Amino acid sequence: MPTPNRILEGVRIVSFTTGYAGPYAARLLAQYGAEVIKVESHPGGLDTFRHYGQGNNVNAAPRFIECNLAIRSMTVNIKHDDGKRIIKELAAKSNAVLVNFRPQVLGRLGLGDDELRKANPSIIILKLPGLGETGPKNWYGTWGFNLNAFSGMTYLWNHPGQDRPVGSQGVYPDHLGFISGPTIMMAALLRQRLTGKGSIIDVSQGEVTAYTLGVSYLESAINGVDPEPRGNQSLTAAPHGCYRCQGDERWCVVSVTSDEEWRRLCGVMGNEALAHDPRFATCIERRRNSQELDAVMSEWLATQTVEDVAHRLQALGVAAGVVQNGTDLCQDPQLRHRDYFQNYDASPIGPFEVPRGGILFKDQPEEDIPLTPDLGAHTEQIMRDVLGYDDDAIAKWKGEGVLV
């Protein structure tokens, strides 16, 4: 069976992306074989993640490397007329353009939808801005962190009854953007292949985040009351929570939905009396007495080692798990079994490992994912092999500040 890493061989995508969501979206397509040409220019038009690295080395920023594996890197000054011409010629030979700049940035440079469509009538232009291309707040500057708040995710991501919202330190909307973007791109590529039609697609990262919270909006709209944060509470399971174990910041989650599981849990606890305690006999009773139940669970798990107890519970069919940190993930035997980590022995940031992704194609073994290239590593090759220019033309444009 063929390797999945070449599924998209022959698909060419021009990538104008910066930060987390856009580049990672492009990486996921490149990882499956698309020729993703990331266009940047030095010094004024670099991906912002290149600046979060070691000193001034634009090739040694860890998170840039993580988000840009497998792509090709080309430097073109798109403020220069000849730079624009090169991009249009590239668009004419590509399936798609992926962009997560603010709305209208490419348009103001003379590389808007109309110009790109003129160069290639069946092109796909997929945009991934924060709040979308249209609407009264389309000009807002946003990070995933802000979009989390806007959608209601931050408000809902909290323990009940707190006096302030918490949400996340992270940028969950970027994650939703970088998986939704390639999904929608793939649908557009199939449509292009089957019907010859191009498309202009405006994916709002804020809406992608809200798309996952539909149930909460339905609750608000149909029942007339905004849902409150539920934290680790469940509407169906008890016990259902996260409990401290022995050690520094070691936690165990447990989720019990059936009475049979509860009895097995009591067995692991070695507490026969608890299994017969009427306060906890049925799920309804356990939920009703959940505070007392949590106290029992907390007391017991505080004496346990999480690596041991979570696996003992799972072995008996009780849903439990280690609250894994970065070290745990890197050593996780299940992830190792899936050959989850791509290892690089050498790179501008030294050796490292990085997650490959959430899916496997069974019986289709994966190849290594190429390491992120240095800035501009593919400029000459693309000019020559894709656009057909000779060395003289390339040298001339380098001298004139076009291919930088």
Output 287 or 378, the one with its CB closest to other proteins.
Answer: 287
Output 150 or 389, the one with its CB closest to other proteins.
Answer: 150
359 part of the interface to other proteins, by CB under 8 A: yes
Would you tell me the crossing angle of helices 259-269 and 306-315 to the nearest 10 degrees? Answer: 140
255 part of the interface to other proteins, by CB under 8 A: yes
- Subset of residues 127 to 156 that bind other proteins, contact rule: CB under 8 A: 131-143, 145-156
370 part of the interface to other proteins, by CB under 8 A: no
357 part of the interface to other proteins, by CB under 8 A: yes
Q: Please pick, from the candidates 57, 104, 122, 220, the single residue that binds other proteins as defined by CB under 8 A.
A: 220
For other proteins (CB under 8 A), the number of binding residues is 145
| 121 upstream amide cis, omega within 30 of 0 | no
Q: Specify the stretch interacting with other proteins by CB under 8 A; choose among 79-87, 285-293, 310-318, 388-396.
A: 310-318
Rounded distance between C-alpha atoms, residue 109 and residue 131, angstroms: 21
289 part of the interface to other proteins, by CB under 8 A: no
Q: Please pick, from the candidates 257, 268, 285, 380, the single residue that binds other proteins as defined by CB under 8 A.
A: 257
Output 108 or 362, the one with its CB closest to other proteins.
Answer: 362
Output 277 or 294, the one with its CB closest to other proteins.
Answer: 294
Output 308 or 400, the one with its CB closest to other proteins.
Answer: 308
Q: Which helix (H) or strand (E) holds 344?
A: strand 341-344
Residues 19, 15, 175, 329: is their CA dihedral positive or negative? Answer: negative
CA dist 168 to 22, 146, 153, 210, 353, Å? 20, 11, 9, 16, 25
CA dist 196 to 108, 115, 124, 185, 271, Å? 28, 19, 11, 15, 67
Output 1 or 273, the one with its CB closest to other proteins.
Answer: 1
Give the nearest distance from C-beta 381 to other proteins in angstroms.
24
| 370 upstream amide cis, omega within 30 of 0 | no
Q: Specify the stretch interacting with other proteins by CB under 8 A; choose among 91-99, 272-280, 337-345, 378-386.
A: 337-345
Q: Map 206-244 to HEC letters.
A: HHHHHHCCHHHHHHHHHHCCCCCCCCCCCCCCCCEEEEE
Q: State the binding string over 67-96 for other proteins (x if CB under 8 A, else -).
A: ------------------------------
Q: Please pick, from the candidates 1, 273, 284, 346, the single residue that binds other proteins as defined by CB under 8 A.
A: 1
Q: Specify the stretch interacting with other proteins by CB under 8 A; choose among 213-221, 282-290, 368-376, 391-399.
A: 213-221
64 part of the interface to other proteins, by CB under 8 A: no
Q: Please pick, from the candidates 122, 211, 365, 374, the single residue that binds other proteins as defined by CB under 8 A.
A: 211
Rounded distance between C-alpha atoms, residue 375 and residue 86, angstroms: 18
Q: Checking phi first, is residue 8 left (phi over 0); if not, alpha (psi -120 to 50) or beta?
A: alpha
Contacts of 403 (CB under 8 A, 6+ apart): 75, 76, 77, 86, 376, 379, 383, 394, 397
Rounded distance between C-alpha atoms, residue 98 and residue 124, angstroms: 8
Q: Specify the stretch interacting with other proteins by CB under 8 A; choose among 37-45, 249-257, 371-379, 389-397.
A: 249-257
What are 223's two structure tokens? 């029942």
- Subset of residues 27 to 56 that bind other proteins, contact rule: CB under 8 A: 28, 32, 52
Contacts of 53 (CB under 8 A, 6+ apart): 60, 61, 62, 64, 349
Burial class (CB in 10 A: 0-12, 13-18, 19+), 19: buried
> Tokens 């993703």 label which residue?
36
Output 56 or 169, the one with its CB closest to other proteins.
Answer: 169
Q: Please pick, from the candidates 55, 56, 363, 392, the single residue that binds other proteins as defined by CB under 8 A.
A: 363
Q: Please pick, from the candidates 36, 106, 210, 266, the single residue that binds other proteins as defined by CB under 8 A.
A: 210
Q: Please pick, from the candidates 18, 41, 180, 372, the single residue that binds other proteins as defined by CB under 8 A.
A: 180
